[in-house]
Amino acid sequence: MITEDQTAAIEFLTSPATHADAADAELIETHISRVFLVGQRAFKMKRAVKLPYADFSTPALRLAACEEELERNAQTAPGLYLAVRRLTSRNGGGLEFDGPGDLVDAVVEMRRFDQQALLDRMAVAENLTPGLMTEVARMVVRFHRDAPVAHTGSGLLNLTRVLDINLAGFRTSQVFDTVDVAALDRLARVALARHGSLLERRERAGKVRRCHGDLHLRNICLLDGEPRLFDCIEFNDQIATVDVLYDLAFLLMDLWHRGLPEFANLVANRYLDEADDEDGFVLLPTLMAIRAEVRAHVTATQAAGGGDNAQRLVEDARSYFELARTLLAAVPARLVALGGLSGSGKTTVAEALAAHVGAPPGARIVESDRIRKALHGVPAETPLPARAYRPEVSERVYAEMAWRASLILSEGACVVADAVFDRAADRQRMERSAIGSRVPFSGFWLEASPELLWQRVSDRRGGPSDATVDILSRQLQRDGKETTWMKLDAARTPAEIVAEILRICRR
């Protein structure tokens, strides 16, 4: 239902007489907003709704929300948010911008950008790339580092409140069966309770912050060639003040729901590589499930508005609901280790494999090259000098790999370990990580002819590996032929190798 005031505001914002630079306005609707695209500008207006998590029922409340939105989003998307405009009554009838008359409504004025630059549109067009998603992950890490810490007193209670909001949201909808809602709510609360002590430790460590709150693909755009966050939650601090990994989980869930598990796994791994937040990895399936719940009841609210898209929205809402149930299913931990000489393709295989090992978003990749770069305080793509590869440094790298794997496995999550592993001692140390955590272990050795390895190393450009043909030559002298790990033909495609690994692991 649209109020009389909002009907007048819509007519004003879509009228050619209102805008000097464009005759037609394009309207985009969400469950709580309407966005009018006009010429080089966009005007965002809040719907006159009162929901369990947002109250925009009066013009004054909508104006306050617009002012808060401008202030908070200007930090993550500078140049995109321009001003708050008041829609006021005009003498003689009608509305005007920022006049002396009574306040009727308010809008946020924004710079208009190509809608194809939205990452959800790019996903549909299959234009997302590993490089772009790596930049997105790093951008989110930087945002979370600067986000203000908020000590809520309880990390568990903070997320329990989200479940309360979700339950209230489900109860306003006719889409879901009440028995199914109650069952899903119980599953989520049991999962949170299982991680209660970890959530409390994270809160004390400052991991609960004033975050974005609505971090999915539709709220990330390419602006001047850089990924930017926008449209954060400004209307409810309780929703946005969360564990940083719960903020990230919305993006991971969105990618998974769209059938892009490899990108979800990549973003999770690149985020953790930068954020050094290993202990929280085990939380991601549960946090993604809670985010799927959010999307389910929000989409159901949109469907209640009717229109031509109502049935599609109902189906979407139910698909999010089913995803939440899937994400809450228990999946046992396991360790898969990939070894092989430089050029064997183990890193490519690890990245293709990880999304299919364990609960979504898949396994944590513990990679020697990235750990070595982190120990030296440089980005993964920065080459290191030869002294960074001395035996004593490599000993530290493999010890760090084993420690990280043990931590993640002991928490109940899955690991894919990726390194040369040409020394028996390093292979045995990784196996002991699984034994100590009482989880299954599978070790694989990728082997190929020296000619193929030399070709691949010679052709390699970019990435975290610093291997050269000289390094490969030295590796060939101690190539791990005595390993008991299962040998796989590395000359095949990554997809073929991953399929074989998964078949073996299932057996």
39 φ/ψ angles, rounded to the nearest 5 degrees: 60, -125
Domain that holds residue 101: 4-112
* CA nearest neighbour of 122 among 221, 264, 216, 251: 221
- Is pLDDT of 487 > 90? yes
Looking at per-residue confidence, does 141 or 390 come out higher?
141
Domain count, the chain: 3
Q: Is residue 431 within 8 Å of 438, Cβ to Cβ?
A: no
Domain shared by 131 and 105, yes or no: no
* CA nearest neighbour of 303 among 427, 410, 170: 170
Looking at per-residue confidence, does 413 or 234 come out higher?
413
Query: pLDDT, tens digit, for every residue of 82-120?
Result: 999 999 999 888 999 999 999 999 999 999 988 899 999
- Is pLDDT of 505 > 60? yes
Amino acid 43: pLDDT? 95
CATH code where residue 99 lies = 3.30.200
Q: What is the mean pLDDT of residues 390-411?
A: 95
CATH code where residue 218 lies = 3.90.1200.10
Residue with tokens 């590996």: 465
Domain shared by 169 and 99, yes or no: no
Share of the chain above pLDDT 90, in %: 68
Query: What's the one-letter identity of residue 470?
Result: D
Distance CA 233, CA 230 (A): 9
Question: Which range among 32-46, 190-204, 348-362, 462-476 shows the weakest confidence by mean pLDDT?
Answer: 462-476
Domain shared by 98 and 155, yes or no: no
Structural tokens at position 31: 């469950």
Q: Is residue 169 within 8 Å of 52, Cβ to Cβ?
A: yes
Domain shared by 258 and 398, yes or no: no
Structural tokens at position 252: 């991971």
Distance CA 152, CA 35 (A): 34
Domain shared by 97 and 133, yes or no: no
Q: What is the mean pLDDT of residues 307-311?
A: 81
Amino acid 335: pLDDT? 98
Mean pLDDT of the residues in the chain: 91
Domain shared by 176 and 136, yes or no: yes
Query: pLDDT, tens digit, for every residue of 58-80?
Result: 999 999 999 999 999 988 888 89
- Residue where a domain stops, chosen among 284, 308, 327: 327
Distance CA 420, CA 482 (A): 14
CATH code where residue 476 lies = 3.40.50.300
Domain shared by 386 and 319, yes or no: no
Whether this prediction's pTM lies above 0.85 is answered by yes
- Is pLDDT of 461 > 60? yes
- Is pLDDT of 50 > 70? yes
- Residue where a domain stops, chosen among 307, 327, 347: 327
Query: pLDDT, tens digit, for every residue of 328-342?
Result: 999 999 999 999 998
- Residue where a domain stops, chosen among 84, 112, 140: 112
Domain shared by 296 and 388, yes or no: no
Q: What is the mean pLDDT of residues 201-220?
A: 95
Domain shared by 249 and 381, yes or no: no
Domain shared by 166 and 35, yes or no: no
Domain shared by 100 and 15, yes or no: yes
Instruction: Using pLDDT thresholds of 50, 70 and 90, give the confidence band for residue 347.
Output: very high
Query: What's the one-letter identity of residue 334?
Result: R
Domain shared by 123 and 180, yes or no: yes
- Is pLDDT of 479 > 80? no
Instruction: Using pLDDT thresholds of 50, 70 and 90, give the confidence band for residue 126.
Output: very high
Instruction: Using pLDDT thresholds of 50, 70 and 90, give the confidence band for residue 23.
Output: low
